[in-house]
Amino acid sequence: MQEYRERIANKGQALQNTKDILYGASFGIPIGVIAGTIAMEKLRRGSSNRLTRSHLQVTPSTTERIAKYYIDETDSYLNGQLQGACHFGYTAEGDSFEPSTALRNMELLLGNILNLPPGSKVVDAGSGYGRVATRIAEEFGHTVIGVDLVPQRVEEARRFVQEHGVADKVTIHQGDYTKLSLPDNSVDAVYTMETLCHADPLEAALGEFMRVLKPGGKVVHFEYAVPPYDSMNPVNKRIAEIMTQRIGMASIRRFTHGSFATLLEAAGFENAEVNEISRNVYPTWHWMFQRAIRERVPTALRQSLKGKLMEENTNLAGALFIWPYRRHLGYTVATATKPVYHT
């Protein structure tokens, strides 16, 4: 019986591998053309010593890069099936994937991991369009203070909060979560949903979260995990560097697999726990990848031939960078607490 089960499991794995290969092959050609073109273009530019127009420009700050990226991508995040949720979804093992259920499940998972009594005061750092904050207030009864850098996102988040009748529980502020205008020791929890990768520097963000938390208060971070950049081949490493710079993901390269507990402990938190949920996130990941390819390849081919893909189609360029590393990317949920003796 045991042998029979193993044979079935092996067959299932073989089928999955074949599906992966076919899936990969169907995207492989356009990806290869585009990725090869952008990589060569960037490598060529990177190794040139000639002075160009770019030498006359001021290097944008991380904040400017973040704002530009999210404003440029307004349509892809706010419209279509994401409907303003700027995070991945959670699909339980054995369940079939459905986008809005998966997105909702990720938000419910966050609320359950916060595990606080209704009425607790929590900060949503990098609150985006306010979808997560609204869900946390509606489903768990918490008071949520959202903070986001991008004024257009703040405006839409406030509209959404009003529309959903939770304005008495959710307030949204425009600002930088590395400089919160909240008193010391004043909140029960701080959470981040796929934004800590932007923190610049990470220590400033974690230091601020520590400052505003009450002793014993909790941080919860939903975040990506990446392979060490130095383990990538030179072309993919270069694409990764350009991508992370362009999107303003100043901290992402520090989130290598298994690094989160050490980062949190170095910032003074204790009881750090890290749970890997990559397998539950892959269905959304593949869905987003397919969408990026389907909707953008025709323009992307043109842009890549002009050497402009990175500038004009960041999400697709990101998907292309991710593709060869899709089995190496991870998604983690990290929690930790502020020591009770902390002042």
Interface positions with ligand SAM (CB under 6 A): 66, 70, 85-87, 126-128, 131-132, 147-150, 153, 176-178, 193-195, 198
With 0-12 / 13-18 / 19 or more C-beta atoms within 10 angstroms meaning exposed / middle / buried, residue 298 is: exposed
Among 246, 311, 284, 304, residue whose Cα is nearest residue 32? 304
Distances (CA, A) of 177 to 105, 183, 202: 25, 13, 11
SS3 215: strand
Residue closer to ligand SAM by CB (options 11, 179) is 179
The minimum distance between CB 85 and ligand SAM, in angstroms, equals: 5
Q: Which residues contact 294 (CB under 8 A, 6 or more apart)?
A: none
DSSP string, 7-33: HHHHHHHHHHHHHHHHHHHHHHHHHHH
Instruction: Using the structure block, give the residue that is written with the tokens 């997560």.
Output: 132
CB of 21 vs ligand SAM, minimal distance in Å: 31
Contact 86, 80 (CB under 8 A): no
CB of 195 to ligand SAM, least distance (A): 4
Rank residues 31 and 122 by Cβ distance to ligand SAM and give the closer one: 122
Nearer to ligand SAM, 187 or 297 (CB): 187
Beta strands in the chain (DSSP E): 121-125, 143-148, 170-174, 187-193, 213-225, 270-276, 330-337
Q: How far is the CB of 67 from ligand SAM (least distance, A)?
A: 7
Nearer to ligand SAM, 66 or 114 (CB): 66
Structure tokens at 216: 């014993």
State the minimum distance, in angstroms, from the CB of residue 256 to ligand SAM: 20
Closer of 41 and 72 to ligand SAM (Cβ): 72
Complex with ligand SAM: residue 34 or 205, whichever CB lies closer: 205
User: Residue with CB nearest ligand SAM?
Assistant: 128
Question: Minimum distance between the CB of residue 91 and ligand SAM, rounded to whole angstroms?
Answer: 17
Closest separation in Å from C-beta 215 to ligand SAM: 24
Side chain identity, residue 188 = D
CB of 157 to ligand SAM, least distance (A): 9
- Provide, rounded to whole angstroms, the least separation between the CB of residue 23 and ligand SAM: 25
**Alpha carbon distances (Å) from 202 to 3, 137, 237:** 50, 27, 21
Its sign, for the CA torsion 21, 25, 27, 32, is positive
Query: Which of 87/296 has CB closer to ligand SAM?
Result: 87
Selection from 285, 233, 323, 299 nearest residue 35 by Cα: 323
Task: Scan for tokens 């193993």, then name that residue.
Answer: 6
Q: Which is nearer to ligand SAM, 153 or 296 (CB)?
A: 153
- CB nearer to ligand SAM: pick between 12 and 80: 80
Closest C-alpha among 184, 182, 264, 187 to residue 221 = 264
